[in-house]
Structure 1
Amino acid sequence: MPNRTIDDVIAYLEKREVEHLVHFTRVSNLPRIIQEGIVPRGKLESERSEVRYFDELRLDQHRERSCFSVSFPNLLMMYKYSKEIEESKEDDGICILFIPVGDLKKIAKLGRIYFYHTNAANAIFKKSSESVSVDGEDIEDLFRDEMSTKQGRTVNRTDDGIPCFLTTDPQAEVQIDATVPFDLVKFVSVKDIELKLKVEELLHRQAKRCYVYQAWKVKGERAYNVFGYPKCWHNWYGQDKNGE
């Protein structure tokens, strides 16, 4: 749809019952995020900020943007990083931040918004034949009726039972080339009660009101626990996590 406005994008997402953009990070990064917002990697690096990144290489080469997903975290990457934290015995964990899709209107005033139907590091985006949806011009691409995995498996939304609010590919991305204020975060989710108490204390110390859920379930359904693997995406499991 040419000349689509951000209001059109929001309306489309809401029609699909999408409620939130989702961003995951280390709990240890949360104090800075509470103070400064979700800041793009490039800006943090230029300031020599002491922030710990999951994707050290940032293979998509877009350090000027922060990464989000639609309704549900990028489970293939999040699970990998969660396991790394557990195995390292670090006093840390994963926290997931949820931003209402209606706030895309505020975000659009801060910077450009890029929508990718699969992992932004995928080599297809380096080819002129594959376009990126900028500011939601072709947001329907994130919900394609059918896609293929690298292993040659066919993913079909109807056959696989993918609900309207989930993207066809669990690694579909939304990237934003601006700092997203923490005040736009509606709530946070963590995996267990210990992390819940830790995050609540962080928020209390910085006088921020933001509810913390233990293992949030999208639409209140157990099948969509954000720390689990929705069965509807089973054809993607085993897919390379960096998109290459």
Structure 2
Amino acid sequence: MKEFIQVGTILYHKYLSKVKVEDINNDLIKVNAGTKGILEFPLRDFGKVIFIDKKHQNMKFDRTEDYLDFCRNEYKLKKEPQIFNSKLQEEKYIESNRFNKHIYNTMVDLCNFEDIKNNNINLEIIKGKIKMETKSANGNEAAEQISIFEPDKSKLIVDNKKEQEKIKEIIERRKIKHLIHFTRIENLSSILENGLMPISILFDKEICYIGNDRNRLDEMLDCISCSVTFPNYKLFFAFRLKEPSAKWVVIAISKDILFSTNNTAYFCSTNAAALIPKIRKEIYTKAERLEDMFCDNYTAKNGKIIQRRSLQIDDNYTTDPQAEILISGIIDYKYIDYIYFNNQDDVDYYRKTYDTYLLSKFNYKIDQKYFQPRKDYEFWKKEL
């Protein structure tokens, strides 16, 4: 790592642009992010959201070491030009060292789910972009390969409608009314005014906020984490234990957000960090993934099989209390159905310190239930 980074080095953050290294230790790097001050990032962020070269910002590597190897090879190519005995040898070398996306992955990335839902798929543009990314070593376009992966626009839209119908059926059958999101009380005024914003947009708009999960191992910085019906009490408790003087609110979001054309929902049967970095995230938009969140048999980390019926929970509770739905983009404040406070003191504190007018436009009440463990808490504590 030190061969590329030292105090004073300029790095490139995916969402913060240029940052300057202030300090490095075994696990963390401190950077000066200008108006955002001194920030800390784990070293594992290299190759994911922090890069040595600006040209690397659109790349993504599974491991930091993979990224460093890539940088070493790139540096070596720049410093040590290759000498070839023939044109064929040169072409083979170029082909073996190219850094290309697989055509299919490119198609999925370019033809995203927001476009499908909005009936906004321009196949000519997509094919053009794929051709640019799939040029062979001698500059010819791989037209035959492209045609194999060309999507049927009508089929994509029909398939998405079918998925939406399946998701709606699950929501109605399980009587799911709300998704749940907890946040620090300091963030509430911004949420009531602007909606719930993911980290990437908060950074982009330079909106001050107090975050909870600094590491975000799921790497979905463009998404907001929500639970179904009840908060992820294990995580909520851990955050509150870490800062016992902090005040919190719990926000109930209408189930209708799952059908918004401006957002995409990713259904995770357990903590998203355990799933999404390992498998393409598009898989988690399917109705079957939503159904998995309420599975009859759940395999715990220790290998033990947990039967849902033994938990004696309501149909609209996820089997794993840490299951979550990630919602991409901004959750408009029109989807906020309720704001729950822990006690009257917190309500009074918010009114006095932050705002009264905005709060009066929303439904809010005191409900300590959302600040307590789930009723199957003892079972999970014992089993896990």
TM-score tier, shorter chain, comes to 0.7 to 0.9
1:54 matched residue in structure 2: 212
Matches within 5 A, 1:35-54: 35-54=193-212
1:228 matched residue in structure 2: 372
- In the alignment, structure 1 residue 81 sits paired with structure 2 residue 255: no
The more displaced of 136-145 and 149-158 is 149-158
- In the alignment, structure 1 residue 161 sits paired with structure 2 residue 312: yes
4+ aligned runs moved over 2 Å, structure 1? 2-8, 46-49, 102-105, 124-133, 135-138, 151-154, 196-208, 230-240
- Structure-2 separation of matches of 1:39 and 1:180: 7
Q: Name the SS of the counterpart of 1:206 in structure 2.
A: helix
- In the alignment, structure 1 residue 149 sits paired with structure 2 residue 300: yes
- Higher radius of gyration, 1 or 2: 2
TM-score for the superposition, normalised by structure 1: 0.81
Q: Which has the higher helix share?
A: 2
**What is the aligned-residue RMSD (CA, Å)?**
2.6
Q: Which structure is higher in RCO with an 8 Å CA cutoff and minimum separation 6?
A: 1
- In the alignment, structure 1 residue 237 sits paired with structure 2 residue 375: no
- Structure-2 separation of matches of 1:200 and 1:98: 20
Q: Which amino acid aligns with 1:112?
A: T
Matches within 5 A, 1:103-114: 103-105=257-259, 108-114=260-266
Question: By how many angstroms is 1:11 displaced?
Answer: 3.2
The 3 A distance-change label for structure 1 pair 51 and 200 is same
Question: By how many angstroms is 1:34 displaced?
Answer: 1.0
Question: By how many angstroms is 1:154 displaced?
Answer: 2.9
The more displaced of 159-168 and 135-144 is 135-144
The 3 A distance-change label for structure 1 pair 179 and 197 is same
Mapped contact 1:10–1:101 kept (Cα < 8 A): no
1:221 matched residue in structure 2: none
Task: Write out per-residue CA displacement over residues 171-213 of structure 1, whole angstroms, 9 at most, x where no aligned residue.
Answer: 1111111101112111111211111233456563226422222
2:268 matched residue in structure 1: 116
Q: Name the SS of the counterpart of 2:239 in structure 1.
A: helix
The more displaced of 146-155 and 52-61 is 146-155
Mapped contact 1:19–1:71 kept (Cα < 8 A): yes
Q: Which amino acid aligns with 1:73?
A: P
The 3 A distance-change label for structure 1 pair 17 and 164 is same
The 3 A distance-change label for structure 1 pair 130 and 61 is closer
The 3 A distance-change label for structure 1 pair 48 and 203 is closer
The more displaced of 191-200 and 92-101 is 191-200
- Structure-2 separation of matches of 1:24 and 1:238: 25
TM-score for the superposition, normalised by structure 2: 0.53
- Structure-2 separation of matches of 1:39 and 1:129: 23
Task: Write out per-residue CA displacement over residues 23-64 of structure 1, whole angstroms, 9 at most, x where no aligned residue.
Answer: 110000011111111001111122332111010111111101
Taking only the aligned residue pairs, the percentage that are identical comes to 24
Question: By how many angstroms is 1:82 displaced?
Answer: 1.5
Aligned length: 224
- Structure-2 separation of matches of 1:76 and 1:199: 25
1:196 matched residue in structure 2: 347
- Structure-1 separation of matches of 2:283 and 2:373: 27
2:125 matched residue in structure 1: none
- Structure-2 separation of matches of 1:239 and 1:80: 18
Mapped contact 2:265–2:328 kept (Cα < 8 A): yes
Question: By how many angstroms is 1:162 displaced?
Answer: 2.4
Q: Note the residue ranges of structure 2 that are not aligned, 5 or more in a row.
A: 1-158
- In the alignment, structure 1 residue 63 sits paired with structure 2 residue 221: yes
1:219 matched residue in structure 2: none
- Structure-2 separation of matches of 1:133 and 1:233: 27
